[in-house]
Structure 1
Amino acid sequence: MPEPVRPEAPTATPPPAPARTAAPPGPRKPPREAPPQGSRRPARAVWALPPVALLGLVFLYPLALVVRQSLTPDNGGGPFDAYSAVLASHAFREALGTTVWLALASTAGCLLLGFTLALIIAFVPFPGARAVAKFIDVFLSFPSFLITLALLFIYGTVGMANGLWTEVLGGAEGPFRFLTTPWGVLLAEVTYFTPFVMRPLLAAFSQLDTAQLEVAAGLGARPARIVRQVVLPEALPALAAGGSLVLVLCLNEFGIVLFTGAKGVTTLPMLVYGKAILESDYPAACVAAVVNIALSIGLFGLYRGVGKRAGA
């Protein structure tokens, strides 16, 4: 006899959880108000006053005195009489031309020599390459007259080269007398300022992807072509920045010209020195100084513009 089917007991469902009621929001703190811009300006102005005052006292005030002296000639003439006399003089035109061609020639020599030496240090493996690169950083701190003195010891009238010549050939005097000429000044400036070109070039070469060089060499490209088509485009910004800096420095170089003893070489800094110290013509010296400052500021603006494009 079949057993009767028992109805299943209903399963007890848990009672629904009571809905959580959000707690009433408490009192919110008011957001902090930023101090008004007007209150920051006086504080910034107070902090800016000491450096501005120091800059004005150390630099701007002497510069203003130079400009004022150039506009007040000793003979009591007009404010621009000194400018007319100096700019029309043969000595000023000769000094300006000498300054410009020496600066341009020295910059070209530094670019050529610096690029060649930087290539050798960066891509030609030889013992001591890293030490040479470190020495370049130290060389930048040397004074310019130190290089001139070294050249005097070698190529001076009684220097090593002339002494060796007289000892070997028995002559009364040696043939090396170019150091007191414009070519000697050019050699000294190229020797001293070349590391200023090499430093940014070595930094640029250190970031160059060597895989490009390996691929170019694997495709059969010669070293000259690799340098021209791969290395040189990457080095152009560093060359431009270094060349602009060297141009500014050569334009204002005084110690090299003075220590070489090149009496026939008169640059704008030497003209300022001669007018102020030797002739006591301070208005003329200040006019030449103002022209030199204007050229330097223009070239420095060029250097900064090129440096920004190069990422310096």
Structure 2
Amino acid sequence: MTDAAPAAAPAPAREAAPGRALPRWVWTVPPVVVLGVLFLYPLALVVRESLAPGAYGDVLGSPAFRDALVTTVWLAPAATAGCLVLGFVLALIIAFVPFPGGKAVAKFIDVFLSFPSFLITLALLFIYGTVGMANGVWTGLTGAAGGPFHFLTTPWGVLLAEITYFTPFVMRPLLAAFAQLDTGQLEAASSLGARPARIVRQVILPEALPALAAGGSLVLVLCLNEFGIVLFTGAKGVTTLPMLVYSKAILESDYPAACVVAVVNIALSVGLYALYRGVSRRAGAHR
């Protein structure tokens, strides 16, 4: 009796052929299309409108443009400097000086960042406006017909409003940097007899420089393009580049001139951003 033939070994299961992977560049198409439709195409329209014959010569040679450019160039850095100084001091107090409600104040900074700029300006108008609280108290105490506080309609009022509104944009990265600071360095410096001013200058400030640079660059660009604060203060003698765009486009219906000013404003913003990136890259390479 012959043995039964051995059972045939089962055929190996065929592996499913993997799907053909899409090229990497395919995944970049949707964001590029969205960016092009929402940003690049309108920007191209603005640039094309600004190329009307004689538009750049008429606008760049006008006294209104030169005044707006000078006002913007000094107002934005001045507000940024004020925000850096005030934000650094307030962040130091919140982070290193124990006081009741310190955590609530730190959380309020996050809420403050969501406020619109005109809301802060209206609050300052209620306090220092022509019929505001400060002038009302002055009138009640002295019996005078009007109070002495009329600076909100001047460049100094715009500067105060911008510093008030944009200071938390400096404080937020500073508080994050202070939270990561090694407290052992502060204790060691204090045990060696260093005074608070020296600790701030030699220990805290070097660690805070990246956060100061990030917050200051953000505030500088925001101040450069701020429109609501200048509009709501009613400072008629203060015309910045965004206000000039508004007046040319809405009040005068001169769209080529408005586009020329807008292109100049965009060039300043992009130039400042490129400068910040270059400086931060070099600073990172030297560290």
Give the alignment's TM-score, normalised by structure 1. Answer: 0.82
Alignment partners' CA distance in 1, 2:183 and 2:34: 48
The structure with more radius of gyration = 1
Aligned equivalent of 1:164, options 130, 137, 140: 137
Aligned equivalent of 1:215, options 169, 185, 188: 188
Is residue 268 of structure 1 aligned with residue 245 of structure 2? no
Aligned equivalent of 1:97, options 54, 64, 70: 70
Q: Aligned with 2:22: secondary structure?
A: helix
Aligned-partner residue type, residue 254 of structure 2 = D
Aligned equivalent of 2:22, options 8, 26, 40: 40
Residue in 2 that maps onto 1:69: 49
Q: Aligned with 1:280: secondary structure?
A: coil
Task: Give the aligned CA root-mean-square deviation in angstroms.
Answer: 2.3
Q: Is the 8 A contact 1:114 1:197 kept in 2?
A: yes
Alignment partners' CA distance in 2, 1:65 and 1:129: 49
Aligned-partner residue type, residue 51 of structure 1 = P
Give the alignment's TM-score, normalised by structure 2. Answer: 0.89
Aligned equivalent of 1:180, options 153, 163, 170: 153
Q: Aligned with 1:231: secondary structure?
A: helix
Question: By how many angstroms is 1:305 displaced?
Answer: 5.3
Alignment partners' CA distance in 2, 1:33 and 1:297: 49
Structure 1 226/280 Cα, relative in aligned 2: closer, same or farther at 3 Å? Answer: same
Aligned equivalent of 1:252, options 220, 225, 232: 225
Give per-residue Cα distances to partners, 1:205-254, cap 9 Å, x unaligned: 11111111111111111111111111111111111111000000000000
Residue in 2 that maps onto 1:54: 34
- Unaligned segments of structure 1, at least 5 residues: 1-26
Give per-residue Cα distances to partners, 1:116-165, cap 9 Å, x unaligned: 00000000000111111111011111000000000000000000000000
Aligned-partner residue type, residue 174 of structure 1 = G
Give per-residue Cα distances to partners, 1:81-106, cap 9 Å, x unaligned: 21122111111111011001110000
Identical amino acids, percent of aligned pairs: 78
Residue in 2 that maps onto 1:129: 102
Q: Aligned with 2:261: secondary structure?
A: helix
Question: By how many angstroms is 1:34 displaced?
Answer: 8.3
Alignment partners' CA distance in 2, 1:307 and 1:29: 57
Alignment partners' CA distance in 2, 1:305 and 1:131: 37
Give per-residue Cα distances to partners, 1:257-309, cap 9 Å, x unaligned: 00000000000000001111111111111000000011112223344556776
- Matched positions, count: 273
Alignment partners' CA distance in 2, 1:179 and 1:185: 6
Structure 1 44/214 Cα, relative in aligned 2: closer, same or farther at 3 Å? Answer: same
Q: Aligned with 1:40: secondary structure?
A: coil
Structure 1 31/190 Cα, relative in aligned 2: closer, same or farther at 3 Å? Answer: same
Residue in 1 that maps onto 2:87: 114
Of Structure 1 and Structure 2, the greater helix share is in 2
Alignment partners' CA distance in 2, 1:34 and 1:108: 59
Moved more, 114-123 or 55-64: 55-64
Structure 1 137/307 Cα, relative in aligned 2: closer, same or farther at 3 Å? Answer: farther
Is residue 200 of structure 1 aligned with residue 173 of structure 2? yes
- Unaligned segments of structure 2, at least 5 residues: 1-10
Alignment partners' CA distance in 2, 1:306 and 1:143: 31
Residue in 2 that maps onto 1:23: none
